Structure 1
Amino acid sequence: MNWLNFFYNKTTHLRHSFGRGINASISPNEEELFDKSYEAFEKGRTLKAYEYFFKSLENFSNENSNNNIITKLKSDKLEFEIFQGSAKIRGHVTNAKLYAEAIIINTSDAKVALKRYILQRNYQLTYACYFSDDDFIKLKIFQDNITASPQKIFFPLREIALTADFDKEFIKSEFPNITLKDATHLVKLSPEELKIKYDFLHQWINELEAKLSTLPTNDNAGMQSFLYLNFLFKIDYLLVPKCEIYQKISKKIQRYFNDETLSPEAKNEELNRYIQKLKVMKFEDFSSKFYNAKYTFNPLEKSTQEEINNFISESLIKIRWYKNNRYKQIIPSIYTYIPFNILYNYGLNPVTKSLLHTLIEIQNPSFFKALDYTPLYFEEKDTFAKKAIIARVDEAILPNQSQFKSLETFGDKLNFSSMNELSNSYLLQLKHLNFEEI
């Protein structure tokens, strides 16, 4: 069973990271490696089983290994490192035990508020726990290998990796004077890329404010919400901020959808206040909130196709309502909101994820052109790169048809008459994808 992405497809090579989780392809031999790991565990070949298992977690960019997992076999022990964003997990395996740990901060830096947070986290975790030694506060897992299997080791390793990454980012955001440890693997973005992202942040804020000014003066809370949320989803997926910006955006979005005590107007005002803080953020401060890193585990649990289809259907119903009531100025924003929302909130298989990314590339041509990608839509001429779009759809779907008998490509069924029609037809085709296995 493919525990990472559930599908394999060779995607167009992206030179930048977008969104959360793994921006890479898993090995085409992932399932075979997973099965070999299972068989080795059954035969009592524990170290070989772990070798196969770690190999199945390896991911690739442009067919080159990302070295997101590094292993070293000794006579009676397998040492390993797993990279997950800001976290590096070190561990070893013997025939009897699995041990792994992640260094978070210096023990001497842990003040009362942070210690309280760490104690609360221990109650929330299933497999991992925090502890401290003379030098560091660390997160660890310790597991017996007597009844080990790929399923039983996957979830503890996933928990320690995701928790260490999230908590290091949280600590960096909430306790800015504390220095995170074990972060030398993080790669700074180039000044040129940071400047592009900073400029687009302000361009999008200006566009947001201009769009808000066109809304009717009464009964516009719903339209404002689409504009504000679309902006935050766009920042998260396209700019991929870390640390404080990521933490704040996540909190704002979560509060918007989950706090039933606030009115839509109050929620919108809270989102607007944060956007105004982003507007005045200096370039130096903005630049400190970004880095590139390797990822091994996706943070979201896999969603069903039915859940995704229901969200698309509900969103298209809202578009029809606005169209019928002659609020046409909000419709393009909702069409861009839909793929951003899905990528943020749902655990996707690589086919759907790749197809949604292609739609986002079509809808945001100036941003991708600034990053030196070939545009899929030419704004000045209001025309589409039809052959390229159809090829991208084929590229996502065709390699998977041998496994999914009813999965059909749809590039030739798209409506290229306008951006709204293209977005509408694209989303409708996504709803019809059939992942029934042979």
Structure 2
Amino acid sequence: MSIWDSLFGRTRGYDPTGDPDFRFGRYTDAYKTPANYAAWDESLHYFEEGKFLESAEAFMRYLLDEREDNVQFQLAEGKLYFEFYQGSKRITGFADEQQLRASASIAELKEPRADLLQRLLGMNYEMKYSRFAINDTNCLAIVFDTPVNDASPHKLYHALKELAMNADKQDDLLIDEFGESLLPTEITHLQQVAPADKALKLDFLTGHIQGVIDYLSQDLLNPEEQPGAVAYLLLDLVYRLDYLLIPEGYTMEALERMHRMYFSREADQPVTYKNIRLLGELQHLMRRAPESFNEELYAGKSTFGITLPANHDRLVSLIDSELPNMDWYQDNGYAEVASAVPGYIAGYALFNYSVPPPDKQLLELYYRVVEDDYFRKLGYQQLFLDQNGRPERRAIRAAISDITDQFRDEYPRLRPATSQLSFDNVVDFGRSYLSMVRELDLTKP
């Protein structure tokens, strides 16, 4: 703050001090540090020289995310012991002169069931590196093992990712379906979400789904003649729920399933049919949420991500193909649909891609603005909408400036054109904001 700001009582407009430390969206392992990449090169070098334990140890350093504190390992008496985390699961393993083996407990098996075991056999067939098994403590587990001289860094990455992702997802899904025969196991490392925050997230889920249902029930849109408008509303909601609530278990899988179903190339179904299925899935989520949703809210460390690395040009292409579609809806009185278009763009990008860090933070800031009330209830102090629901000019510009300052050294040409932003209403702001993001220059020196 300058001396003039101090003298006249002006503030910078944005102060994140005291904000809660929530993380939104799926974990990504795309943002590796120079130390991670150096460890990868060491792992390759050691493997090519036949130093397999040293290669495995360097690989663990490649996986280590110090912000997550997600990996631990120790070389003792000619054996490498390691463990790492993926959401709700802890994966443990070792490597010696003969083999490398890793496993994760899924659930305690109370009683074997033919339909459960048949399900697991089918899933074993689908996996490439790992397999379901029953360990010596009568727990369902996923196991991967390989001769140590075949444990190249490339193979380890894909094999351990397959094991970890399936372990994290299947524990909740199998317990949800076969709860009478399975019990949760190894969940003491999870960080529980505060009851008040769980209640807030439940209200967000049910309130936003009901809001879309109420809008569609007003018959302002003809679902047969305007299926694209309905799709924008529903997909914007799917991605918004996923990014802002970060659910696990059934809800996470349901949101992923909705995305897969809509964009599946195998089933050549009309958009109207897909919209009906999306709406039915969302209604089901809303009905089951009061009983089950709270159990799907917890925080854990992760090692592998599912989103694909993407450069800024990928986001530019998405904006160019979708943003012009909002004009017709706004011009013809469909403000809710027009607002859903930039929401869909931001959500689709965050759901599918690991965009460059400045893009990610700016897209999250978009959510901060349009979901200002939700963030305020979570404990964030900054107001991004005024009492009339208009975007706060000074706070938003200051927040963009703060993001720019964070990445100034890495992206020296990052100069968002905030003068082009419109603050008249949320719809105009969304269009102008994504247009600003589109024009960013993320060229590195």
Q: 1:216 maps to which residue? A: 221
From 415, 422, 429, the counterpart of 1:422: 429
- In 1, the alpha carbon distance for the partners of 2:40 and 2:29 equals 21
- In 1, the alpha carbon distance for the partners of 2:116 and 2:103 equals 19
Q: 1:411 to 1:141 in 2, by over 3 A?
A: farther
1:199 aligns with 2:203: yes
Alignment of 1:78-227 (within 5 A): 78-107=80-109, 109-134=111-136, 135-146=138-149, 148-177=151-180, 178-212=182-216, 213=218, 215-217=220-222, 219-227=225-233
Q: 2:61 maps to which residue? A: 55
1:314 aligns with 2:321: yes
Q: Secondary structure at the match of 1:59?
A: coil
Q: Secondary structure at the match of 1:428?
A: helix
| Aligned AA (1:379) | D
Compute the displacement of 1:106 (Å): 3.6
Q: Secondary structure at the match of 2:91?
A: strand
Q: Is the 8 A contact 2:410 2:444 kept in 1?
A: no
Q: 1:290 maps to which residue? A: 297
% of aligned pairs identical? 25
From 393, 400, 406, the counterpart of 2:410: 400
What per-residue deviation string (whole Å, max 9, x for no partner) do you get for residues 72-109 of structure 1?
22121111111001221110122443211112234554
1:238 aligns with 2:241: no
Q: Is the 8 A contact 2:63 2:303 kept in 1?
A: yes
From 25, 31, 35, the counterpart of 2:41: 35
| Aligned AA (1:170) | L
Report the TM-score, using the length of structure 2 for normalisation: 0.83
Per mean C-alpha deviation after superposition, the further-off stretch among 299-308 and 330-339 is: 299-308
Compute the displacement of 1:189 (Å): 1.2
| Aligned AA (2:243) | Y
Q: 1:96 to 1:351 in 2, by over 3 A?
A: farther
- The count of corresponding residues between Structure 1 and Structure 2 is 420
Aligned CA-pair RMSD: 3.0
Per mean C-alpha deviation after superposition, the further-off stretch among 233-242 and 16-25 is: 16-25
What per-residue deviation string (whole Å, max 9, x for no partner) do you get for residues 96-135 of structure 1?
4321111223455442222222222222222222233452
Unaligned segments of structure 2, at least 5 residues: 1-15
Q: Secondary structure at the match of 2:174?
A: helix
What per-residue deviation string (whole Å, max 9, x for no partner) do you get for residues 326-362 of structure 1?
5444111212121112111234343432232122212
Q: Secondary structure at the match of 1:141?
A: strand
Compute the displacement of 1:279 (Å): 3.6
- In 1, the alpha carbon distance for the partners of 2:406 and 2:120 equals 42
Compute the displacement of 1:281 (Å): 4.0
What per-residue deviation string (whole Å, max 9, x for no partner) do you get for residues 370-393 of structure 1?
111233612315223134322243
Report the TM-score, using the length of structure 1 for normalisation: 0.84
- In 2, the alpha carbon distance for the partners of 1:158 and 1:257 equals 24
Q: Secondary structure at the match of 2:309?
A: coil
Larger Rg: 2
Q: 1:4 maps to which residue? A: none
Per mean C-alpha deviation after superposition, the further-off stretch among 229-238 and 300-309 is: 300-309
Unaligned segments of structure 1, at least 5 residues: 1-10
Q: Secondary structure at the match of 2:92?
A: strand
- In 1, the alpha carbon distance for the partners of 2:313 and 2:386 equals 34
- In 1, the alpha carbon distance for the partners of 2:160 and 2:360 equals 24
